[in-house]
Amino acid sequence: MEQLSGKVVVVTGAASGIGLALAKKFGAEGMKVVMADIEVPALEIAAASLPDSVERITVVCDVSKGEQIDALRVAAIDAFGAVHVVCNNAGVGGGGAMSDMNIDDWKWVIDVDLWSVIHGVRVFLPGLIEQGEGHIINTASVAGLFSAPFMGPYNVAKYGVVALSETLCNELAMQQSEVGVSVLCPSWVKTKIASSVRNKPGATAEEADALAEFVQPMIDGGIDPDTVADRVVEAVKAKQFWIITHDDTPGAVTLRTRSILDGTNPPQLMH
């Protein structure tokens, strides 16, 4: 999609981080923006931070629930009449030793990080195909390309997003569709993912502190969300599938691929 001005973009997880950066960048391209998030006050503050010239609406949405993604599409169509770009971006962090994790730990991360993308594709794809243009961006992670320890649920979810996106890319190509798909695989970015446990039902302060202590130093050294958003906009215009944000990612992927080809144990890589 080379021409974005006047089109409509839906962004989940739009209250902060990469999602907010995407909303601002697509808005700067002249797009009408549908901003979705589960955190009401933060969502309204984020929407107010966009320039007055950007047409936007906010939709409170728990992306782990399919019916709320259905309602998100209805709200977008009611407001702007169409949807052209969909950023399935909302996500949470979660981890720990697999020997210590319970089913609720797994379910929360996978529901938000993988099922939300499944629902987003299910709900928005038919309309994009029918109108003959559009683009879907699924936010995965380098955690969908190689697996660091103590991040089991997150790795599983992000591998799923990569697999879903690759499958969709191949299907669209076979159908000779004009709809594009990209998978975003960033490494550390300066976002609030270290504190995402704040939205986990029943989470304890100790659980939140443990996650923050583990990942916050890496996040503090990460890249700016605006840099990620720039690459996403470029990928949509160029109909580019892979969106890689860090220079060290190809080397890590090569090491993992080499272990597969050589039949050796996977390398111990950190994101």
CATH number at residue 172: 3.40.50.720
Domain that holds residue 18: 8-262
Q: According to the model, what pLDDT value does residue 164 have?
A: 98
Residue 95: its pLDDT value, please? Answer: 78
Closest CA to 138 of 63, 219, 30: 63
CA distance 180 to 135: 4
In a domain, 3, yes or no: no
* Predicted pLDDT at 190: 74
For residue 188, being part of any structural domain is answered with: yes
Give the residue ranges of the chain where pLDDT is below 70.
Answer: 192-218, 220, 271
Q: Kindly state whether residue 268 falls inside one of the protein's structural domains.
A: no
Residue 2 in any domain: the answer is no
| Any domain includes 269 | no
pLDDT for res 211 = 54
- Provide the whole-model pTM: 0.91
Whole-number pLDDT of residue 191: 78
pLDDT tens-digit profile of 210-248?
555 556 666 767 789 999 999 999 999 999 999 999 999
| Annotation marks residue 154 as catalytic | yes
- Asked, for residue 64, whether it belongs to a domain, the answer is yes
Q: In what order do the strands lie in the sheet with 56-60?
A: 56-60, 32-37, 8-12, 85-88, 135-139, 180-185, 242-244
Q: What total number of domains does the chain contain?
A: 1
Catalytic residue among 154, 165, 181, 235: 154
Q: Is residue 82 part of a domain?
A: yes
| 198 inside domain | yes
